[in-house]
A and B are shown apart, each in its own frame.
Chain A
Amino acid sequence: MGNKYDELRFFQYKQKLKKERRFITCWQIFIFIMFFACWEISSRLKWIDPLIFSSPSRVANLFLEKTTDGSIWLHIQVTLLETVAGFIIGTIGGIVLAGVLWWFPKISKILDPYLVVLNAMPKVALGPIIIVALGPGYFSIIAMGVVIAIIITTIVVYSAFREVDENYVKVLRTFGASRYQIFKEAIFPASIPTMISTFKVNVGLAWVGVIVGEFLVSEKGLGYLIIYGFQVFDFTLVLFSLLLIAFFAGIMYQVVEKIEYKLIQNRSSR
């Protein structure tokens, strides 16, 4: 243990850290408040068109109204379920496909140009076809989320599989490992960091797919509310839905980040 002065300096250092953290939080809160205050004021003073840009107080009123009559929960639930499903299916599906490509190198060579084209293509353009094929409903919307996330996941994870150091495979082969064992013991675990990093990207992609899907299907969900608000020129509703989307997308991202942190921490410090 250090002497009194070392302890003191450490204490001072901690104080400094705390102060800095407080400073940053203060600014974050300040910007948040300023944003909504400016929005409210400029709307009231008619610097911006209140019909188009609405105002925080109107959005808040709508929020109260919609929560007391309970009608908003259904839309939130639908969108969240679709997004989570799209994310999970897209991510796991991509990893499975990458595994298949690794298992059959010939197939992966043959499919390479097709994957490149599929990846380059804007997947939302497939929207109408998906809806016609699967019918307007949850399935098509989830499928939109999946389609957007799955191709890039496949490509990224497959290239991670291929970049695993050959020598780990060599070690396993000296013990007579089968192809499945090589995958399970070396290829898959070595690629876990890459898979986790696709999670974050996929959260964003799943949101894009689902919201676009809801635009097109126009039945329920936050994306539907945006389109509906747009059609009846109720921009309070549009902005309200937008804020909800921002809120939930933010939360989902945080959750995935927490999971990532947990998993990575486990790996490096176990």
Chain B
Amino acid sequence: MTFLTVQHVSHQYFSSDNYTKALEDISFEVSEGQFLSLIGPSGCGKTTLLSIIAGLIHPTEGTVLLEENEIQKQKVQLGYMLQQDYLFPWKTIKENVLLGPHIQRKKDVSMEKQAEELLAEIGIGDTKNLYPNQLSGGMRQRASLARTLITDPKILLLDEPFSALDYQTKLKLENLVATILKTYEKTAILVTHDIEEAIAMSDTIIMLSASPGKIHKIFSVPEELQQMNPFEARQHAAFPSFFQNVWKEMDDLGQ
């Protein structure tokens, strides 16, 4: 059964003297537990597409269905990690993580305990009473991940969550996210600039071309790489040849 369906989605941004066609006729499907990556040049509409899937923007045309229901019409079951962490500077890390439950009036003692456990699980348990500006970039991104996971979303939308991090932190976090998603059998859509990251983490890669954003090509990551965690996948023999493959397509897009 298809879990998430994106049907003929197009989107225009309007301003008083102009308009931008950000997306044109995007259709794809994601099944439950699948990990999908969106790659493409800057400004091709990746963030726009995620916002539409999250129900934050109404597309000018087309629909998004989650388990056969229109996304706009149901209660939120998505976790959305923005391009930067956007932790609230006046809240402690724990309060930040509990933001979702707080908004949904589900915050109670067991939730608080769950938040602490989650923070511990992703390795920043002792920061719970600190403020975001006291944390490093990698720690903040982890906290942001915890904030996204705590509401137990059916699907995770990740907008370049690792792009601002140093290489080592990035590899660690990739592994962490992949492990967590696998453990809880979550469906996820990851936006990234980084072809290697897309290959290492996902099952399917959708490549978009720019102005207007269109699906250029859909890749299926080799079975053996899908099974591994991102770090192992990068070491695997099948990795370089598949990378070449995707790279060449990206090159042909002329970016």
Contact = CB atoms under 8 A, between A and B. Distances in A.
Interface of A: 165, 167-168, 170-177, 181, 185-186, 189-190, 192, 267-268, 270
B120 interface: no
Contacts of B90: 189-190, 192, 267
Contacts of A268: 133
Contacts of A173: 56
Interface in B133-163: 133, 151
Contacts of A175: 76, 99-100, 103-104, 151
30 contacts: A167-B82, A167-B84, A167-B86, A170-B51, A170-B80, A171-B80, A171-B86, A172-B103, A173-B56, A174-B56, A174-B78, A174-B79, A174-B80, A175-B76, A175-B100, A175-B104, A175-B151, A176-B75, A176-B103, A176-B104, A177-B103, A185-B88, A185-B102, A186-B88, A189-B88, A189-B90, A190-B90, A267-B89, A267-B90, A270-B131
Contacts of B100: 175
Q: How big is chain B's contact interface, by range? A: 20 to 34
A270 B131 CA distance: 7
B4 to A, nearest CB: 16
Interface string B81-103: 01010101110100000011011
Given A167-B86, A173-B56, A181-B103, 7 more contacts: A170-B56, A170-B82, A171-B80, A174-B56, A175-B99, A175-B104, A185-B102
B54 interface: yes
B99 A176 contact: no
Interface in B101-150: 102-104, 131, 133
Interface of A is mostly: helix
A28 B103 CA distance: 53
A243 B92 CA distance: 47
A168 B88 contact: yes
Contacts of A174: 54, 56, 76, 78-80
A176 B76 contact: yes
A227 to B, nearest CB: 47
A268 to B, nearest CB: 7
A185 B99 contact: yes
A17 B30 CA distance: 66
B50 to A, nearest CB: 10
B31 to A, nearest CB: 23
Contacts of B51: 170
A90 to B, nearest CB: 25
A257 B84 CA distance: 34
A171 B76 CA distance: 12
B56 to A, nearest CB: 6
Contacts of B88: 168, 185-186, 189
Contacts of A186: 88
Nearest to A186: B88
A225 B104 CA distance: 59
Contacts of B104: 175-176
**A174, A175, A186 pick with most chain B CB within 10 angstroms:** A174
